Structure 1
Amino acid sequence: MPSKTALSPQIADKTPAPSLRPHPADSEIWTIVRAEARDLAEREPVLRASLERLLAAESDAALLSGVLATRLAADEAERRTIGQLLTEVFSAEPYILARVELDLRAVRERDPACESFLHVLANLKGFHALETYRAAHSLWHSGRREAANWLSNLASLVFGVDIHPAATIGSAVMLDHGSGIVIGETAVIEDDVSILQDVTLGGTGKQTGDRHPKVRRGVMIGAGAKILGNIEVGAFSKIAAGSVVLKAVPSHCTVAGVPASVVRIHRADEIPSASMDQTIL
């Protein structure tokens, strides 16, 4: 059996998984983004200059880096520095762009306020924070920990999302709204997870070492929920808004309350992260 802390498409308790949308190669998303940017530039003069700079990017990696650097930087010199660093990371690690593409698609499909991929890329700070984390995570594991911490701190200050660069986060993840999300150093988030604002994946304050939650595939975590300690949130479960979770959560259920307890068992085909249904009963 794979380690419960390893990022894996398998579910730790081997519960049968509902049928999820397959993850195709999503590189066509960047073609769509560019088409949406050209259309918007023609319609909205106020945004034309920034969109033309986006369209001038020589690669998908440079396009994404330019958007993030513009959001993160305090001035033009810092924008160039951050943009160069991010482009280097994204260009050297193609798997990161593949995960970004799945994140883009996840937000576009799950957020009813999103009318385009361009809107996600250009405007949503939860997405910006997650993709900045992906660069910081790569730097962390390549031995550039000071640069990783610098980038992570910038993202926390600008976006209000605090993700330790050593945390492990899969693909097709949505940080909805983003504000106030905290993800600790040894946290693991598998694929197809949705997390709303003001969520904490933290330690208890007493542990050292591996001390943060392990969130399995297909989970939705409601606004304001706190999950504390090295505990597992089972696949395709739902954490109700405002809950405080101190014990392991079984797969395919909803937990709610302070402290949280199981209030509903799900059908086998329910995917909370995709439905984004906030009801608990």
Structure 2
Amino acid sequence: MAAATATNDRLWQNIRAEAQRVCESDPVFSKSLADAVLAHDSFAAALADLIGRRLGGNAAGQARFTAFSIDAFRGAPELIEAAGRDLQAIVLRDPAVAGLLPPLLHFKGYVALQAWRVSHRLWRHDQRDAALLFQNEAANVLQVSIHPAASIGSSVYLDHATGIVIGANVLIGDDVTILQNVSIGRGSELPTRSPRIGCGVFIGAGATILGDIRIGDFARIGADTVVTSDVPGGCTAVGNPARLTNCPAPASAA
């Protein structure tokens, strides 16, 4: 825990340093940066304020979402650790991103994911109405709907993010990248169960993943692919219905 806290402290100092440099070079943008970053004494405080600003709509709404987020971050510091890893994952995976500030302030997939982390904690603590309020507002404002009962790892990147739907009880591992217009949820079979997405998986734009299936570690799901059966680790799934390609030798031999 101490190591994670130190890492987030360094991350926060790097974010503040970026903000200071931008303020010095761009006076027009300096006021909004001061309010969003420099006015806060921690990454948790800045992130809670960001969630409030994006989901709240008006002053009362902003205060309500910010308060829920602050309480969640205080009660579960691991949420801030995950938020830090999510932010760094964007910088590592997106060649168009040159620093920490752009994804923090402007990538709606990032704030939608952090709002989901708060809603998931609320759900697990039987604050179901508040949790669903977070989901509803993120869907309305950010076009990202993640059910509070889903489970998502860290270092996750929702790229572009518009139109992402993740249903109840979906399991998503670490280091996953999900592009726009992706749907992951239960199928029509009985009993209805949700997909389980492994670590390091890439899910292309427009993909649909449904039912009681497993997507193995480091699999790739192509754009517009419809997946209703298991995808072994390391394989690529393409088409509708999905067919497997580029599987590692042991998987193809099986």
Q: Under a length normalisation based on structure 1, what TM-score does the superposition of the two structures give?
A: 0.83
SS of the residue aligned with 1:172?
coil
Alignment of 1:129-140 (within 5 A): 129-140=112-123
1:96 aligns with 2:79: yes
Superposition deviation, residue 267 in structure 1: 8.0
1:208-219 paired onto structure 2 within 5 Å: 208=191, 211-219=193-201
**Pairing 1:263-274 to 2, within 5 Å after superposition:** 263-266=245-248
Q: Indicate the residue corresponding to 2:138 in structure 1.
A: 155
Query: Are 1:153 and 1:162, in contact at CA under 8 Å, matched by a contact in 2?
Result: yes
- 1:188, distance to aligned residue in structure 2 (A): 0.2
Q: Report the alpha carbon displacement of residue 152 of structure 1 after superposing the two structures with TM.
A: 1.1
Cα drift, residue 266 of structure 1? 4.2
2:95 maps to which residue? 112
| Corresponding residue number in structure 2 for 1:240 | 222
In structure 2, distance between residues paired with 1:149 and 1:71 = 16
Answer whether contact 1:140 1:148 (CA < 8 A) is retained: yes
Q: 1:170-223, CA deviations, whole angstroms, 9 ceiling, x for partnerless residues?
A: 0010010100011010100001111111111022234455x2110001110111
Residue type of the partner of 2:181?
D
Q: Among the aligned pairs, what percent are the same residue?
A: 40
Correspondence for 2:14: 32
Give the corresponding residue for 1:62.
45
Distance 1:250 1:25, change over 3 A: farther
Instruction: State how far apart, in whole Å, the 2-side matches of 1:56 and 1:175 are.
Output: 27
Please say if residues 189 and 216 of structure 1, whose CA atoms lie closer than 8 Å, have aligned partners that are also in contact: yes
Corresponding residue for residue 173 of structure 2: 190
**CA shift for structure 1 position 45:** 2.7
Q: CA deviation at 1:79?
A: 1.3
When the two chains are superposed, the root-mean-square deviation of aligned CA atoms in Å is: 1.7
What CA deviation, in whole Å up to 9, does each residue of 1:133-184 have, x standing for no partner? 0000000001101100001111111110010001000001001010001101
Structure 2 distance, partners of 1:213, 1:76, is: 38
- Aligned partners of 2:176, 2:5: CA distance in 1, in Å? 18
From 159, 164, 182, the counterpart of 2:147 = 164
Q: Which amino acid aligns with 1:172?
A: S
Separation in 1 of the partners of 2:64 and 2:5? 33
Answer 1 or 2: higher relative contact order, Cα 8 Å, separation at least 6: 1
Task: Determine the C-alpha separation between the residues in 2 that align with 1:61 and 1:202.
Answer: 30
Aligned to 1:255: 237
Gaps of 5+ in 2: none
What is the rounded CA distance, in whole Å, between the counterparts of 1:26 and 1:153 in structure 2?
A: 32
For residues 96-143 of structure 1, give each alpha carbon's deviation from its aligned partner in whole angstroms, at most 9, with x where no partner exists.
Answer: 011011101111100112111111100000111100000000000011
**Is residue 199 from structure 1 mapped to residue 204 from structure 2 by the alignment?**
no
- Compared CA separation, residues 221 and 76, structure 1 to 2 (3 A): same
SS at match of 2:86: helix
Name which of 226, 229, 253 aligns with 2:211. 229
Change (3 A) 1:208 1:125: farther
Give the structure with the larger helix fraction: 2
CA distance in structure 2 between the aligned counterparts of 1:172 and 1:143, rounded to whole angstroms: 26
Uncovered stretches (5+) of structure 1, i.e. residues with no partner: 1-22, 269-281
Write the distance in 2 (CA, Å) between the matches of 1:266 and 1:90: 41
1:247–1:119 CA distance, 2 compared to 1 (3 A):
same
2: CA distance, partners of 1:24 / 1:95:
9
Which residue type is aligned with residue 69 of structure 1? G
Q: Contact 1:26/1:102 (CA < 8 Å) preserved in 2? A: no
In structure 2, give the amino acid aligned to 1:264: N
Alpha-carbon distance, 1:44 to partner: 2.1
Secondary structure of residue in 2 paired with 1:130: helix
